[in-house]
């Protein structure tokens, strides 16, 4: 019996390790930007950690990278079409499946190509193009299993604030969320903000008709708030929670005025609370969700300017929030009170604004360099006391396919001790363990 128990314990450790290594979609398996990996390098050489491989076949776009079993799944524009793409553990292309046409227009000097990150679940990959074409493909060979047009089939709408095109904005940018047999998406518009599709067939299971806000550039998250499982999303003027069972509206927290510019960062759920942060003066806010009888209520705990995050994401570790404020500086904020922990005064920091992920007490940042500069990757200690930069290096090349005002905006990924960084068509894989 003892030998059986030991064998089962070893098997549990092996399975846990395997799951922890996979980065299954946008901001990792829990959409919080946090990896459970340990034993990572605490500093890097001047030229960076060991570069294992580099690919130049990802195409244009800001799509992130899902990494499962060492295979990288991403998206990119090639010519006038966007593709879902799989690369092996050497950077060699395994397959590329056309999703749909590129969303672009003459006055757009910022972006071209997909913005979302593919989601991998079981033997399937779910990929969303900037034009709103949603593809479900076989993970092994990229064979199309089903597809849905968010704009045509679901009458979707993206908020066009900041100069985007009506109904399409700057392109669909949220990443699909798989929750059991449901694929949770955000069409937006008058037919309903949320929708759930059957992961096997693409058939619509329900639609959140009580909320008709347009979709933004944020991604939906799932959590249990006030004892009820729900999906949460941040729109241009509201934070919304709907039932995971049928999409019924549970609560809505409306702002007095809509956010003045694009809404990108994803909400963070902790217990019965939801944290949001938006740039361009949006600041940050923490809300507590309560339930009395059948009624839910969202109450603001605080509203502060400590972190106003435009698009790089915020990390919550051990009660401390880490992110950058208004493209000016990295900052740490107390989750419970909203108090700014650092910087307490304007101090010079080595790293500029960017997208982050966390692992092993470290923060990995990809700086928003542009329009022609190579990307910079930085390593910081996740310290609530002060800004502690450990290392940084410059990517060995810069994409020539960025638009005139484009930057290095793709979120990084971490899987099995490897850090993946993207600059348009180029993906770099570094050994950080």
Count of structural domains within the chain = 1
Q: How far apart are CA 128 and CA 176, in angstroms?
A: 7
CATH at 150: 2.130.10.10
Which pLDDT score, from 0 to 100, does residue 11 have?
41
List the structure tokens of 410. Answer: 């793709």
Q: Are the C-beta atoms of 184 and 227 separated by less than 8 Å?
A: no
Q: How far apart are CA 9 and CA 280, in angstroms?
A: 50
The alpha carbons of the chain give a radius of gyration, in whole angstroms, of 21
- Give pLDDT tens digits for 196-234: 999 999 999 999 999 999 999 999 999 999 999 999 999
Mean per-residue pLDDT of the chain: 94
Number of Cβ within 10 Å of residue 18's Cβ equals 11
Q: Are the C-beta atoms of 119 and 160 separated by less than 8 Å?
A: no
* Domain ranges, residue 100: 2-431
Task: Identify the band that residue 402 occupies on the pLDDT scale cut at 50, 70 and 90.
Answer: very high
Q: How far apart are CA 67 and CA 30, in angstroms?
A: 14
In the predicted model, is pLDDT for residue 372 greater than 80? yes
Which pLDDT score, from 0 to 100, does residue 369 have?
87
Q: How far apart are CA 238 and CA 319, in angstroms?
A: 25
In the predicted model, is pLDDT for residue 312 greater than 50? yes
The contacts of residue 197 (CB under 8 Å, 6+ apart) are 148, 182, 183, 185, 203, 204, 205
List the structure tokens of 148. Answer: 């849905």
3-state DSSP assignment of residue 46: coil
- Give pLDDT tens digits for 155-186: 999 999 999 999 999 999 999 999 999 999 99
- Give pLDDT tens digits for 91-149: 999 999 999 999 999 999 999 999 999 999 999 999 999 999 999 999 999 999 999 99
In the predicted model, is pLDDT for residue 13 greater than 80? no
Q: What share of the chain is helix, strand, coil (3-state, %, to 5)?
A: 5, 45, 50
């Amino acid at each position: 019996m003892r030998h059986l128990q030991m064998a089962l314990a070893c098997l549990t450790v092996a399975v846990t390790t395997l799951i922890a290594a996979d980065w299954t979609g946008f901001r990792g398996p829990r959409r919080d930007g946090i990896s459970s990996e340990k034993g990572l390098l605490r500093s890097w050489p001047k030229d960076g950690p060991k570069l294992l491989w580099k690919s130049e076949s990802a195409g244009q776009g800001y799509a992130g990278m899902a990494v499962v079993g060492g295979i990288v799944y991403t998206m990119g524009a090639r010519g006038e079409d966007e593709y879902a793409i799989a690369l092996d553990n050497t950077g060699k292309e395994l397959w590329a499946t056309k999703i749909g046409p590129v969303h672009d227009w003459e006055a757009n000097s910022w972006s071209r190509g997909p913005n979302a990150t593919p989601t991998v679940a079981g033997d399937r990959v779910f990929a969303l193009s900037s034009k709103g074409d949603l593809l479900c493909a076989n993970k092994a060979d990229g064979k199309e299993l089903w597809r849905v047009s968010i704009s045509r089939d679901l009458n979707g709408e993206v908020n066009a604030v900041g100069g985007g095109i009506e109904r399409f904005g700057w392109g669909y940018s949220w990443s699909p969320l798989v929750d059991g047999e449901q694929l949770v998406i955000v069409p937006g518009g008058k037919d309903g903000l949320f929708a759930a599709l059957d992961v096997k067939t693409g058939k619509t299971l329900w639609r959140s008709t009580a909320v008709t806000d347009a979709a933004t550039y944020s991604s939906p998250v799932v959590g249990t708030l006030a004892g009820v499982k729900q999906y949460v999303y941040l729109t241009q003027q509201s934070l919304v929670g709907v039932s995971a069972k049928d999409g019924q509206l549970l609560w809505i927290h409306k702002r007095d005025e809509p956010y003045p510019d694009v809404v990108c960062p994803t909400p963070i759920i902790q217990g019965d609370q939801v944290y949001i942060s938006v740039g361009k003066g949006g600041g940050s806010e923490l809300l507590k969700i309560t339930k009395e009888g059948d009624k839910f209520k969202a109450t603001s705990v605080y509203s502060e300017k400590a972190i106003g995050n435009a698009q790089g994401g915020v990390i919550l570790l051990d009660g401390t929030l880490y992110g950058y404020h208004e493209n000016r500086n990295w900052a740490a904020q107390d989750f419970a009170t909203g108090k700014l922990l650092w910087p307490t005064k304007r101090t010079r920091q080595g790293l500029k604004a960017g997208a982050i992920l966390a692992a092993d007490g470290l923060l990995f940042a990809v700086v928003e360099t542009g329009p022609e500069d190579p990307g910079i990757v930085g390593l910081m200690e996740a310290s609530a006391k002060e800004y502690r930069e450990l290392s940084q290096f410059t990517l060995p090349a810069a994409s020539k396919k960025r638009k005139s005002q484009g930057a290095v905006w793709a979120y990084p990924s971490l899987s099995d001790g490897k850090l993946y960084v993207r600059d348009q068509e180029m993906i770099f894989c570094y050994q950080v363990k």
